[in-house]
Amino acid sequence: MRIILVGAPGAGKGTQAESIKSKYPIAHISTGDILRANVKAGTELGKNAKGYMDAGKLVPDEVIIAMVESRLQEPDCKEGFLLDGFPRTTPQAEALDLLLEKLGISLDAVVELNVDDEVVVQRLTTRRGCKFCGEIYNTLFKPTKVDGVCDKCGGEVIQRDDDKESVIRNRLSVFHEQTAPLIAYYSKKGLLLTVDATGGKDAVLKLLEQRSCSCK
Ligand code: AMP
């Protein structure tokens, strides 16, 4: 199965990806996670990307395209992959088309997670994550037992720099301007499925199972 998850920041792409992965043994490729790992490790890529990420802007297309191009050729992608957070611009989508053609493979579906902007702002300003193990918390719906301390590993629980409200509003306008046009792009190709992002953590998995598409 080869699918793309498209949705505003905070639509729940990561959560849906975890649920899909529990059923299908495919590689989960989150460009945001790859970039954050590079920032943490202090690589050249991370140093270049950090400024864009902290400001809620997109990292330049050529950087992201090269990163995904090499990732998609790793062995764990043979069984399929789930792209989370890529493509985010029309040039990225066009580059992906060319790459897939070169690799002789095609997409099974592009799933749009539909969510209201104000829901996103509430979800993200209250989101927290463990610096050490990555466990996700929410100050309203899933608080840590001890303030700022991870229940799972005792690590420090913090707010992502790009989860501050001004940055979130910026990320949302970037989404509407640059990423939303991909909905029409993939709809024209007959690949688009739309899911209500408030429909629970297994909403996308259920839809894929219902279709029991060529998604094997
Ligand atoms: P995410 O975790 O997917 O919300 O991504 C966090 C940040 O990483 C974004 O706000 C961008 O700065 C950057 N980023 C992730 N994926 C992409 C992409 N496909 N194109 C450009 N920038 C990206």
| pLDDT per position as a tens digit, 75-110 | 999 989 999 999 999 999 999 999 999 999 999 999
Q: Beta-carbon neighbour count of residue 22 at 10 Å? A: 10
Q: Beta-carbon neighbour count of residue 196 at 10 Å? A: 10
Calculate how far, in angstroms, residue 32's C-alpha sits from the geometric centre of ligand 1: 5
What pLDDT is stored for residue 201 in this prediction?
87
* Adjacent-strand bridge partners of 138: 127, 142
Residues, the chain, total?
Answer: 216
Query: What are 133-170's pLDDT values in tens digits?
Result: 999 999 999 999 999 999 999 999 999 888 999 999 99
Probe ligand 1: pick from 35, 50, 63, 170, max atoms within 8 Å of CB?
35
- The whole model's pTM is what? 0.87
Active site residue 23: no
- The response to whether residue 52 sits with its C-beta less than 6 Å from ligand 1 reads yes
Mean pLDDT, residues 25-54 taken together: 94
Active site residue 171: yes
Q: What gap in Å lies between CA 33 and CA 42, rounded to an integer?
A: 14
Active site residue 13: yes
Mean pLDDT, residues 179-194 taken together: 96
Q: What is the dihedral of CA 71, 72, 76, 79, to 10 degrees?
A: 160
As a whole number of Å, the CA-based R_g of the chain is 17
pLDDT band at 214 (very low <50, low <70, confident <90, very high): very low
What pLDDT is stored for residue 159 in this prediction?
94
* Cα dist from 41 to 27, 47, 68, 117, 132, whole Å: 22, 9, 18, 32, 13
Calculate how far, in angstroms, residue 145's C-alpha sits from the geometric centre of ligand 1: 30
Active site residue 211: no
The yes-or-no verdict on residue 215 having pLDDT over 60 is no
What pLDDT is stored for residue 212 in this prediction?
67
The yes-or-no verdict on residue 67 having pLDDT over 70 is yes
Calculate how far, in angstroms, residue 57's C-alpha sits from the geometric centre of ligand 1: 8
Mean pLDDT, residues 5-33 taken together: 92
The yes-or-no verdict on residue 213 having pLDDT over 80 is no
Average pLDDT of the chain to the nearest whole number: 93
Q: Beta-carbon neighbour count of residue 184 at 10 Å? A: 11
- Four-residue CA torsion sign, 118, 121, 126, 129: positive
What pLDDT is stored for residue 198 in this prediction?
86
78 secondary structure, DSSP code: T
